[in-house]
Amino acid sequence: MIPLLFFSLKGYAQTSTEKLPPVTDYAEKLDTLYHFLVGISVVSCILVIVAFAYFSIRYRRKSEKEQGSAKVSHNTLLEFIWSFIPLVIFAVAFVWGWILYYDFKRPPENSLEIHVYGQMWNWTFVYKNGKKTTNEFYVPSHKPVKLIMTSKDVLHSFFIPTFRIKQDVVPGIYTSLWFKANRKGKFQVFCTEFCGTGHANMLARMHVVSLKEWEDWLAHDPYKGLSLAEIGKKAFQGRCTVCHTTTKEKRIGPGLSGLMGAKREFTNGKSLMVDENYLRESILNPSEKIVVGFPNQMTPFAGTLSEEELSGLIEYIKTLK
């Protein structure tokens, strides 16, 4: 059983880092601490089990006459050793972890800053030059990046497994984390705080590229040469697919096919025909008119969408016949 336990834990530690290789210096240091704790835990487990087995056999009662005749004594040196060694191990682990946490919470002064907004159920990234992206963002490699984050609705949690970093995203305040990627590639971002029906689909993709590629991307207009409807389609695919479909199929919200010009019944007993003003209001302030049969669950997009994206969404919905 003991060898099986040892090799199982060793295999788990190796497999976890092989599937998610560390991309930052912090991740490598954290993995080293993790392997240290796993190793110490395995050794401690073996020692406890061996000692338990030994004492159970060595000092078992062999006959009824031995009952109550055991003499209890102690060994001061032995008691000191088995108390002092764990104390040293715990102190080492604490100081080691504290140093890593201290580094994790102190971004370099020259860090590139990106604002991150979480809302049900997508991530919006805003750069210093005003460029916005949804559910994907780009950063340069070998340069410290600081994410300044907040939520527009409920509690979320921003997690990049390969970077070994996670931070709660809280409405009403700013939280932050930082990293410096050592290699280029695409890396998955998850929300790890249950935030409603579409929580599992609250994903984002981080692209780590060279500094030159990042500067070229930052200067590029993603909507250049696109019609309003095409801009709306692109915005819809990035922000709306968790809750809505382009057919009549209902998801969390109604399907959008044939919505323009249709009659909508509201929970307040009123109704109207869908037009551009209704679509605009429903996107920016969805709780103003709640359609019968659907929950009041959509997050307002006021301040998140540009006027170009908003107009594009309306034009795109009008094409969904």
Asked if 101 and 116 sit in the same domain, the reply is no
Expressed as residue numbers, the domain containing 25 is: 21-46+83-106
Tens digit of each residue's pLDDT (9 = 90 or more) over 215-266: 989 888 777 777 888 888 888 888 888 888 888 888 888 888 888 888 888 8
Within a domain: 77: no
pLDDT grade, residue 72 (50/70/90)?
Answer: low
Number of structural domains found in the chain: 3
Distance CA 35, CA 40 (A): 9
Secondary structure in 3-state letters for 176-217: EEEECCCCCEEEEEEECCCCCCCHHHCEEEEEEECHHHHHHH
Examine residue 8 and state whether it is found in any structural domain, yes or no: no
- Look up tokens 């060994």; give the residue: 75
Q: What is the pLDDT of residues 133-143, one digit of tens each?
A: 888 999 999 99
Same domain, 116 and 95: no
Residues 137 and 98 in one domain: no
Whether 102 and 172 map to the same domain: the answer is no
Place of tokens 């000191």: 80
Last residue of a domain, one of 219, 244, 277: 219
Q: Do both 118 and 39 map to the same domain?
A: no
The CATH number of the domain where 196 resides is what?
Answer: 2.60.40.420
88 and 137, same structural domain? Answer: no
The Cα 13–Cα 1 span in angstroms is 18
Task: Give yes or no: residues 247 and 153 share one domain.
Answer: no
Per-residue confidence band for 5, with pLDDT thresholds at 50, 70 and 90: very low
Those residues whose C-beta lies under 8 Å from the C-beta of residue 75, and which sit 6 or more positions away, are none
Among residues 219, 238, 268, the one where a domain terminates is 219
Q: Pick from 116, 88, 239, 126: which is nearest to 178 by CA?
A: 116
177 and 194 together in one domain: yes
pTM of the model as a whole? 0.71
* The residue type at 235: A
| Whether residues 157 and 116 fall in one domain | yes
Q: Compute the distance between CA of residue 181 and CA of residue 158 in angstroms, rounded to an integer.
A: 17
If you ran DSSP here, which 8-state letter would residue 291 be given? B
Domain stop point among 158, 190, 219: 219
Question: How many angstroms separate the CA atoms of 302 and 119, rounded?
Answer: 12
pLDDT band at 99 (very low <50, low <70, confident <90, very high): very high
On the 0-12 / 13-18 / 19+ scale of CB atoms within 10 A, 137 is: buried
